[in-house]
Copies of this chain bind each other. A is one copy, B any other.
Amino acid sequence: MVKAVVMEGPGKLSVKEFPYPKVERGSALIKVEMAGICGTDKHMFKGETVHPRGLLTKFPIIPGHEVVGRIAEVSDEASKSMELLGRELKVGDRVVLDCAITCGKCYSCRKYPGFPFCDKYSGHYGWGLTCKDPPHLFGGWSEYLYALPDTRLLKVPPEVPPEVAVLTEPMTVPIMSFTMASNAVSTSYLYPPPEYVVIQGSGPIGMLHLIFSKLIGTGEVIMIGRPEYRLKIAEAFGASYVINIDEIKKPEERVREVLHLTGGRGADLVIEATGNASALPEGLEMLGRLGTYVITGIYIDVGEVSINPQRLILSKWAHIVGVPGQTHQSYPKALELLRKYEGKVGFSRLITHRFKLEEAVKAMEVALSEECMKVVFTP
């Protein structure tokens, strides 16, 4: 039998057992080494369950889309075609998961190659495939994950340990953010580097954007978040300034502070990594002329927000970009960055808490408390 954490609906977490699966043609089985808890998982736990493009959480689910593990079994077909860069897969290989399943051959896969738009979309691991139906194991909070045909796995170099590799999926997010933003007039005008970057949100995604900003030589990075625990980490990773929203409670005061820190001009680039709709008007207020605003945290539908399009967009000559996921190609870049800069950056320090599957309720509590950075399961 295979042990896994099941979320049966909002607020309901338990450990279940599933039969050990038979690996079918085109498929593979991964022995999970480590799987992260993401903001998306917290949203679903809280009952916010509408993903991009209106896709719904398919309860009951085994959560977990940030996954590293070792190949336990692999079919002939999968061994030749499932590795993201075309390499052979063998039992024992350490891999990370590309969490979106796309066919690569339909209208949308052809028109937007590498993007997770697929007309034959069959699901996302961790939330878009129910565990009701066999082979059940479609999430990373489990001893094993079953990789269906058309899934992509990326081989991990031997020198990269699980606590670094597990960050591959979240690390693709800043890569997408900066790639999308770099196409906007403002950043190319300022290229390189943006002088002032504001990051709204001090969780793991915000932190990876901070690290990425520093790696590509942007100027000052201002991080806005909470609690103290996380802002201390932000400073350790190179934030020039932190703004604690528990202390500076009024958005207009935070805006004033950012304007002050940027010499009255506002930021060249503002990254939303909060999951909170009210971040949008606040962040647009902080944006300077020809600035770029990237929405990456409002991944789950959390409702509407009111903005002034003239004052906050047109008048600033602003660009707004939404980033709901990642291309295939961003995975190898993310893993390579993690590998290359682990010595210099120490990404593994972001993994602050580790739990066994049986401790799922406690793990979620810690994640919700925000007195943590990345919380992971080590099944």
Contacts and interface: CB of A to CB of B under 8 A. Distances in A.
Interface of A: 50, 52-54, 81, 84-87, 103-115, 117, 119-120, 175, 178-180, 182-185, 188-189, 191-193, 195, 215-217, 219, 277, 280, 289-290, 295-296, 298-311, 313-325, 328-329, 332, 336, 340
20 contacts: A50-B310, A50-B311, A52-B310, A85-B110, A86-B103, A86-B106, A86-B107, A86-B108, A86-B120, A110-B332, A111-B332, A115-B317, A175-B192, A178-B191, A179-B188, A180-B185, A295-B314, A298-B310, A299-B314, A318-B322
Contacts of A53: 315-316
Nearest to A87: B107
A191 B181 CA distance: 11
- A195, A277, A298, A321: residue with the most chain B Cβ atoms closer than 10 Å: A321
6 nearest A-B pairs in the assembled complex, by CB-CB distance = A86-B106, A113-B113, A314-B322, A52-B315, A313-B322, A320-B320
Nearest to A295: B314
Contacts of A329: 110-111, 113
- Copies of this chain held together in the complex: 4
A117 B315 CA distance: 11
Given A54-B315, A185-B180, A219 B322 contact: no
Given A86-B105, A107-B86, A314 B324 contact: yes
A179 B192 contact: yes
A290 to B, nearest CB: 6
A279 B315 CA distance: 16
A103 B87 CA distance: 13
A125 to B, nearest CB: 19
